[in-house]
Amino acid sequence: MIRAVLLDLAGVVYDGDTPIPGAVPAVERLRKAGLPLRFVSNTTRSPRRAIIAQLAAMGIKVADEELLTPARTAVEWLRRHGRRPHLLVHSNLEAEFSGLEDGSGRAVVVGDAGEGFDYATLNQAFRELAAGADFLALATNRTFKDADGQLSLDAGAFVAALEFACGRSPVVLGKPSPDFFLAALAGLNCRAADAVMVGDDAESDVAGALSAGLGAALLVRTGKYRPGDETRFDPAPTALVDDLAAATDWVLKARRAETDSGDAL
């Protein structure tokens, strides 16, 4: 039985500051159906308050506990392990890590630093890692859809460069980490097998969710999707749909079928 829905944001709910057609009413339809929602974004450029305000301006009210980002899980990890962050992230995100200066050790935290990625900053992060700092990657996405509509390099390439140089793999805190999906479901009284993920990234959103044990993962043709993405990664999407409105149709139809089947027993 479908008991919860996880929604990616960029490329699924909106492109930039513009809602994707049909997305806002689709979110409302899911809420009216009584399905708990979690918005799970791999963005590492925008702070949580900005994301919530951006959604509110589009007509989507999101409570703090409904939004999960890699920065939030990173802060929890740093506090739990008593680490001070060495940040290689976008300047907009730095404030999310305030109040963590008293840790007993160091951890390099890599996100999408944008123009902040250069030899000096990468080499400084490498030297921290070489000195024994922990290695945290907020996400390992290969690409994102940029403001000009084209794909651009995401943080994954820079994480891979540091991994190659230091000879250590990072702790991945965002999608496709299974822990990230399971953290999103925490408190919902919902087994992973009873949740559906909707995303535009066949690797991080869809294959990641299915590998984490979610019952279904739908790939939309909006956002960063490119023809053929549905065949490039394993596990393959449960379904390929046009957009969030079509994904909502799929979810509600599947839920009705499950309910009807249960009534017939």
Bridge partner residues of 107 (DSSP) = 85, 134
Interacting residues of 77 by C-beta distance below 8 A, sequence separation 6+: 83, 107, 136, 171, 173
Q: Is the peptide bond before 176 cis (omega within 30 degrees of 0)?
A: yes
Per-residue confidence (pLDDT) for residue 259, from 0 to 100? 80
Q: What value does the CA radius of gyration of the chain take, rounded to a whole number of Å?
A: 19
Task: Quote the pLDDT of residue 263.
Answer: 56
The Cα–Cα gap between 248 and 177 comes to: 24
- pLDDT for the residue numbered 258: 85
The string of pLDDT tens digits covering residues 101-125 is: 888 899 999 999 999 999 999 999 9
Q: What is residue 262's predicted lDDT score, i.e. its pLDDT?
A: 65
Q: For residues 12 and 30, give the distance between their C-alpha atoms in angstroms, rounded to a whole number.
A: 14
Compute the distance between CA of residue 144 and CA of residue 10 in angstroms, rounded to an integer.
9
Q: What's the token pair of residue 40?
A: 């799970």
Write out residues in the chain with pLDDT < 50, as ranges.
265
Per-residue model confidence as pLDDT tens digits over 225-241: 999 999 999 999 999 99
Mode of pairing for the β-strands spanning 151-153 and 143-145: antiparallel
Q: What pLDDT is attached to residue 42? A: 94
Q: Are strands 67-68 and 151-153 parallel, antiparallel or unpaired?
A: unpaired
Per-residue model confidence as pLDDT tens digits over 57-73: 999 999 999 999 999 99
Q: How far apart are CA 200 and CA 204, in angstroms?
A: 9
Domains of the chain and CATH, by start: 4-42+176-264 (3.40.50.1000), 71-172 (3.40.50.1000)
**pLDDT for res 147:** 86
DSSP labels for 76-132? HHHHHHTEEEEEES-GGGGGGGTT-TT-SEEEEEE---GGG-SHHHHHHHHHHHHTT
